[in-house]
Amino acid sequence: MGVTTTETKSARTRSTIIDAALRLFRERGYDATTMRAIAAEAGVSVGNAYYYFSSKEQLIQGFYDRAQAEHAEAARPILDGSRDLTERIVGVIDAWATAMEPYRPFAGKFFKNAAEPTSPLSPFSPESSPARAAAVDLWREVLEGSDARVPKRLRADLPEMLWLYFMGIVLLWVHDPTPGGSATRGVVAASAPLVVRAIDLARLPIVKGMLDDVMALIAQVRQVFPIADG
């Protein structure tokens, strides 16, 4: 019982520090916010803040992990309720957009740091690999729980391809000025059926050569972005 209480308190403190950091990042920007300021905003000592997060970068990784967990939980109703792949894709992204809406004011200011190729905050960085792997696993569940007939040649790589598609949607969402990201949601509703149609077409013998070209292209992309680590 004591261990559970301690773990709950620890998780609560971590969450408090992350929330405080996000408020300051939104108000001051990422670069201008110090760990000392984050500790003061969270109502903890600087030493305590560093105990949970050794740097701002590690703190952001904590936010990534929490955001991924929130997304997985928000997506559960659509994953449990529909086997239609288009509905699953639209529903999972819609769940993400809804869960992340409170962070949209922060996203634009943060993006310039995350977009830097060498930054540990990049979704493609080694530091981001746990959250990235969890995201790819979610897209694997989207596929495996659907009634779509995925070509054998594509099965291993398609979850990562869907994650890359999702990353494009996230980029659009970051720059979307419409209330609630309505324009982004419209793009998802229009593009998801095209994605599913492309998967269906990949089963046809006539596109086998094109599919081989796509897989070769994916291999080239992996040399720049090692999406799946190990």
Work out how many domains the chain is built from and give that number.
Answer: 2
- Reported pTM: 0.84
**Residues 212-224: what's their mean pLDDT?**
70
**pLDDT, tens digit (0-9, with 9 covering 90-100), for 26-39:** 888 888 899 999 99
| Rounded Cα gap, residues 162 and 136, in angstroms | 8
**Whether residues 85 and 155 fall in one domain:** yes
CATH of the domain at 166: 1.10.357.10
Does the residue 120 lie in any domain?
yes
- Mean pLDDT over the full length of the chain: 86
**Whether residues 99 and 128 fall in one domain:** yes
**pLDDT for 38:** 95
Torsion sign, CA atoms 208, 214, 217, 219: negative
**pLDDT for 1:** 42
Whether the per-residue pLDDT at 213 is higher than 90: the answer is: no
Please give the residue range of the domain that contains residue 21. 1-54
